[in-house]
Amino acid sequence: MNALSLPLAPSRLRVNASGLLLAFGIALAAWWLGRRVPLIGGPVFGIVIGIAVRNLLSPGESFNPGIQFASKQVLQWSIVALGFGLSLTQVAKTGLESLSVTLVTMSVAFVTAWLLGRAMKVHGELKVLIGVGTAICGGSAIAAVTPIIKPDDHDTAFAISTIFLFNIVAVLLFPLLGHALHLSDLGFGLWAGTAINDTSSVVAAGYSYSTAAGDYATIVKLTRATLIIPICLVLAVVVAMRHKRAAKQAGVTSDFSLRRIFPWFILWFLVASAVRTAGLVPAAIQPAIHLAAEFMIIVALTAIGLSANLRKMASTGVRPILLGLGVWAAVSISSLLVQLVIGQL
């Protein structure tokens, strides 16, 4: 996709209406459940309910266009909307303080995902999704790279489910380990912010340790989340190079261009963030924008769940879960080791 689509024309709206309404209705229920069980969160409820509806009720073909639209375009709109809530200056100081640990843990995540995934024979797209989700920001990072690498929807659902599993483990385990290791508030906040995937889980673990740890962990996590921008750009270049190489080997002229797959929604995300940083977004409407972004993510991930085929997911086997465990363990340990080396523990 070259850019964000404009609002739906009447003809497209008719085609997409049934699928969009289905995703929207389930997302409302998921959002409500997520508010009551924040440890799980609306996005996970959305994708789980979506998978259940897809595989138990089997919506007809007429729902597919709207479901596909929600899983792609609504997803991109949600990422842009998130930019309005992220001031680049508010995380600059903490970001610089935590950058060395963040860069190491990200590198460890990607290298471990590649090596372990190759050893376990987990295919490329799923390796990338699990690696990105663990390295950066869980489901949000998976959502951001999906339009670029275009994995099967069941791979996306499997990756999000895998990341969610270890989020739950981290929320329960990290505070206990932090106290056992006698980590300071800032030390635990840096560990949680660099080694736990989703923001909600970072917040839950951080504030269960202490208020200071929760504050620090949240800012570290926000800084870490901004790194999805260069990651998306690198992935876009890699995808473009692979397509051109494949065309050359086949002896045909490639009409594939980086411009065509460039993640324009990331550019608009930067514009939105710049607007927020410049103070052009009134404080009174920021909560509403954040709520809209949160709900659009739930709608998009619900649509991904509605596209997921459990039989294909089952055929993938237990190896992706073991891959997720290996990458998460490597990131958690490397974060503590780097802090130990630089004297922050």
> What are 136-178's pLDDT values in tens digits?
877 777 877 877 787 877 788 778 777 777 877 787 788 889 9
Identify the segments of the chain with pLDDT beneath 70: 1-13, 39, 86, 88-95, 97, 199-200, 243, 247, 250-266, 309, 312-316, 344-345
Confidence (pTM): 0.62
**Residue 127 is encoded by which pair of tokens?**
């390796």
Q: What is the pLDDT of residue 2?
A: 45
Backbone angles phi, psi at 343, to 5 degrees: 75, 30
Instruction: Find the DSSP H helices in 133-263.
Output: 138-149, 153-180, 185-195, 199-209, 211-226, 228-249, 258-261
C-beta separation of 338 from 107 below 8 A: no
Could you tell me which residues come within 8 angstroms of residue 138 by beta carbon, excluding any fewer than 6 positions away? 160, 163, 164, 167, 197, 198, 199, 201
**Residue 299 is encoded by which pair of tokens?**
């709608």
> By C-alpha distance, which of 35, 298, 329 is closest to 170?
329
- Look at residue 60 and give its three-state secondary structure: coil
Q: What is the pLDDT of residue 88?
A: 66
Q: What is the pLDDT of residue 75?
A: 72
